[in-house]
Amino acid sequence: MPHPQSTLMAFGDGRQKLRIGLLLLDNFTLNALSGFIDALRLAADTGGRSRQIDCGWVIMGKGMVRASCGLAISPDSEPLPPARFDYLAVVGGNDYAERVQPAWVTAYLQETAAAGIPLIGLCTGTFNIARAGLMQGVTACLHWNVHQEFAAQFPKVRAISDRIFLDTGNRITCAGSTGAPDLALHLIDRHCGPERAQQSLRHMVLNDQREASYPQAQFSPEARDIHDDLVRRAVVIMEQTLNDPISIDRLATRLGISGRQMARRFAASLDQTPSQYYRFLRIRYGAWRLIHSTDLISDIAADSGFCDASHFQREFRGHYGVSPAKYRKGAIASA
CA distance 96 to 68: 12
- Percent of the chain scored above 90 by pLDDT? 69
pLDDT of residue 1: 42
Question: pTM of the entire structure?
Answer: 0.71
Rg (CA), the chain: 22
Is pLDDT of 115 > 90?
A: yes
CA distance 278 to 234: 10
The answer for residues whose C-beta is within 8 angstroms of residue 122's C-beta and 6 or more apart is 32, 33, 36, 89, 90, 91, 92, 174, 176, 180, 183
- Percent of the chain scored above 70 by pLDDT? 93
Domain ranges for the chain, please list them: 4-203, 218-335
- For 156-189, the pLDDT digits (tens) are 999 988 789 999 999 999 999 889 999 999 999 9
Is pLDDT of 2 > 50?
A: no
Q: Lowest-pLDDT range, 11-25, 114-128, 145-159?
A: 11-25
Report the CATH number of the 218-335 domain. 1.10.10.60
Q: What is the mean pLDDT of residues 4-21?
A: 71
Kindly report the backbone phi and psi dihedral angles of residue 158, in degrees, each rounded to the nearest multiple of 5, phi listed first: -70, 130
Q: What is the mean pLDDT of residues 190-209?
A: 92
Task: Give the domain 4-203 fold.
Answer: Rossmann fold (3.40.50)
The answer for residues whose C-beta is within 8 angstroms of residue 30's C-beta and 6 or more apart is 67, 68, 69, 71
Q: What is the three-class DSSP state of 91?
A: strand
pLDDT of residue 110: 98
Q: What is the three-class DSSP state of 278?
A: helix
CA-to-CA separations, 40 to 8, 96, 145, in angstroms, rounded: 16, 26, 27
Neighbours of 286 (CB within 10 A): 25
Domains 4-203 and 218-335 share a fold: no
Q: Of the candidates 305, 208, 207, 160, which has an alpha carbon nearest to the alpha carbon of residue 247?
A: 305
* 321-327 long-range contacts, CB within 8 A, separation 24+: 324/286, 324/287, 324/290, 324/297, 324/300, 325/297, 327/287, 327/290
Q: What is the mean pLDDT of residues 56-84?
A: 95
Altogether, the residues listed in the chain come to a count of 335
* Residue 133, phi-psi category: left (phi > 0), alpha (psi -120 to 50), beta (remainder): left
Q: What is the mean pLDDT of residues 79-97?
A: 94
CA distance 44 to 52: 6
pLDDT of residue 221: 58
